[in-house]
Structure 1
Amino acid sequence: MKKIKLISAFALFFMLTTAMTCNDNDDSPSNNSVDPTPVINTVNNGNWRITLYNDSGSIETNNFANYIFTFGANNVLTAVNGSTTVTGVWSVTSDNSLDDSPSNDLDFNIAFSTPATFTELTEDWNIISYNATKIELIHVSGGNGGTDYLTFEKN
């Protein structure tokens, strides 16, 4: 009989402790979305160049030297270097998923299908900082844990 009371008391203690540590918001994303409009308006204004591309510690900025990037209408991203034009897509979206850190931020999405050097830019980047002339981005890989940095500056 003492064992049953002891087990019951332990079970009650466990349930109360678990209930006290739970939060209604633990399993759902935040309802506070960040407005992507200011970033979109910033990049839509003018031409940009890559001043830093750090691929998990390897500086590969020169792969994009002399390319001028335009974040155009209908999410068209264009990179031009003389007679060479590379086209991709871009967007800025509010991300309040729990899989991302921070969980309530903006994602700067870039996608290129070719050439190989440009496909390395294809990521959902987090915005570190931005102003009228500079946008600093970061991406932490889920696979190998590498951290990439990408900086655009107004041309």
Structure 2
Amino acid sequence: MKTIKLLPILFALMTLTMASTCDSDDDNNWTNPNQNNVSIAQVRNTAQDGSWRVVYFYDTDHENTNHFTNYGFTFGQDGTLTATNGTNTYTGSWSVTNSHSGDDDSGHNSSDVDFNIGFSTPANFAELTEDWHIVTYSATRIELIHVSGGNGGTDHLIFEKN
């Protein structure tokens, strides 16, 4: 008889424990399951090795890849990012950092590696200015994503080696 009375209490305790450990907004946050395997030094070395081109750029609600057609991007060891098409040259900055703060726009609350890009002009290049999260990278491809905290839009940027 005592066992029967304890079962509802045990069930209620288990339900409360499980409910308190769930976080309803986890489903809306992008996470990189391989983020712990990302080496800042490896990403830096990969980016610095040669010239890259933008093969895909999606800004919140539209594709803008054509803004970067024929531009080669060079990631300098001094943090300088140079984009040139033979006629025009634009200079910005870049870095790869470990972000522990959780206060970035994407809603992440754990440590992650950011691929930071900064251009002040022209406007098309300034759109690349973000603290991008690394989706994946290899010797020939770097895929990045940024989730805006303002409007919740998602930006995608993919570089491929020239």
- TM bin, normalised by shorter chain, reads 0.7 to 0.9
Structure 1 distance, partners of 2:37, 2:67, is 35
2:92 is matched with which residue: 88, 92, 111?
88
Q: Percent identity?
A: 58
The alpha carbon displacement at 1:98 in A equals 2.5
- TM-score (norm: length of structure 2): 0.73
Give 4+ residue runs of structure 1 displaced > 3 Å after superposition.
32-35
CA contact (8 A) 1:134 1:154 kept: yes
Q: Is 1:150 equivalent to 2:157 in the alignment?
A: yes
**Which residue is 1:49 aligned to?**
53
**Which residue is 1:75 aligned to?**
79
Q: Is 1:125 equivalent to 2:132 in the alignment?
A: yes
CA contact (8 A) 1:97 1:103 kept: yes
Listed as ranges, the gaps of 5+ residues in structure 2 are 1-15, 21-35
Structure 1 distance, partners of 2:109, 2:136, is 14
2:102 is matched with which residue: 98, 106, 110?
98
State the superposition RMSD in angstroms: 2.0
Larger Rg: 1
Structure 2 distance, partners of 1:123, 1:87, is 15
The number of aligned residues is 127
The alpha carbon displacement at 1:102 in A equals 6.1
1:134 is matched with which residue: 130, 141, 148?
141
- TM-score (norm: length of structure 1): 0.76
Q: After superposing the two structures, state which structure 1 stretch, 90-99 or 142-151, moved more.
A: 90-99
Structure 2 distance, partners of 1:128, 1:35, is 13
Q: After superposing the two structures, state which structure 1 stretch, 143-152 or 33-42, moved more.
A: 33-42
Listed as ranges, the gaps of 5+ residues in structure 1 are 1-16, 22-31
